Amino acid sequence: MSEINVLYVDDEQQNLNSFKAGFRSRYRIFTAISVAAALEILSREEIHVIISDQRMPEITGVEFFKITKVQYPHIPRVLLTGYTDVGVLAEAVNQGDIYRYITKPWNELELHNSILNAYDHYKINRDLREKIAELQKANDGLNRFVYSLSHELRAPIASAIGILDLVKLEGKTGDSGEYWKLMDACVQKLDYYISQTVQFYKTARFKVEHEQIGFEALVHSLISLYSTSNGSKEISFKVEVDEAEVFYGDKFRIEIVIANLLSNAIKCQRPEEPDKKIDIRIHTDANEASIIVADNGVGMEEAEQARIFDPFFKGTQPGGLGLGLYILQEALEKLNGSVAVHSKKGEGARFEVNIPNSPQHKE
């Protein structure tokens, strides 16, 4: 067994000598006849368990433990008391000032078991602190990685996309036009994958914030953004927004939800369909926002509908990373929202999302 360092505080030297004589063969014992002496020992030694008498002239044991709780919160504290003060003891236990109390004169076996249990408590807390420190270190590394994805990697990708756009704009593709198209597709896909990865990370970790949401402006800004993507210029967007009540919610995650619904609807269009269309209907009331996004695309079988929210599941959906709808569901869980899908193969899909209104959180 590892050596256990025990500090015993008592204003009577006889009690200190008796304690040391009884337990020095089992533990490494430190004794202090005053609070000042005890604090000096705590400042220079790694103490695993503190034991103190309750009745001392300068300060009570409970008051001493209140001090050590602030300076050394992880060390368990055992109180020895020779008289009954139920109110003081109950308050000390409830506030976490003491780990356990034992009446005097102490029973050696009871005190021995209390020290062992207190030390186990100390070890568990120490191991937990070490694990938390390791997790914090890993979390910091993950934050740096995501920052690198979001900034350092996307910057050169954005530059490459800009150069490719210039090449197309100036008509300099020449005989190697197909190679330029392939390069453009690869760079766009890489940019999309990085964007999805960063979006997933932020959705899972960022704190939920509430603010007033203007759905009309939000939807049209997203449509404008996606209108430049491949194939979306041929799509007819129909938007109906009825904001009967002011809606408060997490704009970041709500934007993720609508954006992924739009992206999914665009990708699932049928190339042979002459009248490609996406209908977006949003209604808000005092209780919730109802968001419906429907398309006349490829649709899906019932078996596929049960898996579309699984991570990396692509099904019959062309392209993509298989993370969009998974991220959407993760965002809705943070918002206490829900999503339902209705679809038939070859007849398109209809997604219905409900998000609670949170006016109590308005700024």
The yes-or-no verdict on residue 180 having pLDDT over 70 is yes
Give residue-wise pLDDT tens across range 33-58.
999 999 999 999 999 999 998 888 88
Instruction: Name the percent of the chain lying above pLDDT 70.
Output: 85
Buried b (16+ CB within 10 A) or exposed e, 305-343: beebbeeeebbebeebbbbbbbbbbbbbebbebebebeb
Q: What is the pTM of this model?
A: 0.55
Q: What is the pLDDT of residue 358?
A: 86
| Eight-state DSSP code of residue 47 | -
Kindly indicate the confidence band of residue 320, based on its pLDDT and cuts at 50, 70 and 90: low
CATH number for the region 207-361 comes to 3.30.565.10
**Mean confidence (pLDDT) of the chain:** 84
The yes-or-no verdict on residue 291 having pLDDT over 90 is yes
For the chain, counts of helices (H) and of strands (E):
11, 12
Q: How many angstroms separate the Cα of 335 from the Cα of each of 24, 88, 329, 355?
A: 58, 44, 10, 7
Q: What are the boundaries of each domain within the chain?
A: 5-106, 207-361
The yes-or-no verdict on residue 86 having pLDDT over 70 is no
The yes-or-no verdict on residue 318 having pLDDT over 60 is no
Q: Are 91 and 79 in contact (CB under 8 A)?
A: no
Q: What is the mean pLDDT of residues 211-233?
A: 81
Kindly indicate the confidence band of residue 319, based on its pLDDT and cuts at 50, 70 and 90: low
Give residue-wise pLDDT tens across range 112-130.
999 999 999 999 988 998 8
Q: Are 92 and 100 in contact (CB under 8 A)?
A: no
CATH number for the region 5-106 comes to 3.40.50.2300
Among residues 147, 328, 146, which one has the least CA distance to residue 253?
Answer: 328
Angle at 165 between CA 159 and CA 170, to 5 degrees: 130
The yes-or-no verdict on residue 1 having pLDDT over 50 is no
Instruction: Name the percent of the chain lying above pLDDT 90.
Output: 37
Buried b (16+ CB within 10 A) or exposed e, 135-167: eeeeeeeeeeebeebbeeebeebeebbeebeeb
Instruction: Kindly report the number of other CB atoms within 10 A of residue 359's CB atom.
Output: 13
Range name among 47-56, 193-202, 310-319 with the lowest pLDDT average: 310-319
